[in-house]
Amino acid sequence: RKEVEQDPGPFNVPEGATVAFNCTYSNSASQSFFWYRQDCRKEPKLLMSVYSSGNEDGRFTAQLNRASQYISLLIRDSKLSDSATYLCVVRDTGGFKTIFGAGTRLFVKA
Partner 1 sequence: EAGVVQSPRYKIIEKKQPVAFWCNPISGHNTLYWYRQNLGQGPELLIRYENEEAVDDSQLPKDRFSAERLKGVDSTLKIQPAELGDSAVYLCASSLIGGMGTDTQYFGPGTRLTVL
Q: Find the shortest distance in angstroms from Cβ 18 to partner 1.
A: 24
Nearer CB in complex with partner 1: 18/93? 93
Strands (E), 42-103: 44-50, 55-57, 60-65, 70-75, 84-92, 98-100
Pseudo-torsion of CA 91, 88, 99, 71, nearest 10°? 50
Nearer CB in complex with partner 1: 44/76? 44
Asked if 102 and 7 count as a contact pair (C-beta separation under 8 A), the reply is no
Q: Find the shortest distance in angstroms from Cβ 16 to partner 1.
A: 28
End-to-end distance of the chain based on CA atoms, in angstroms? 37
Q: Find the shortest distance in angstroms from Cβ 38 to partner 1.
A: 9
Per CB under 8 A, residues contacting partner 1 are 4, 8, 32, 42-46, 49, 87, 93-103
Q: Find the shortest distance in angstroms from Cβ 52 to partner 1.
A: 14
Nearer CB in complex with partner 1: 26/93? 93
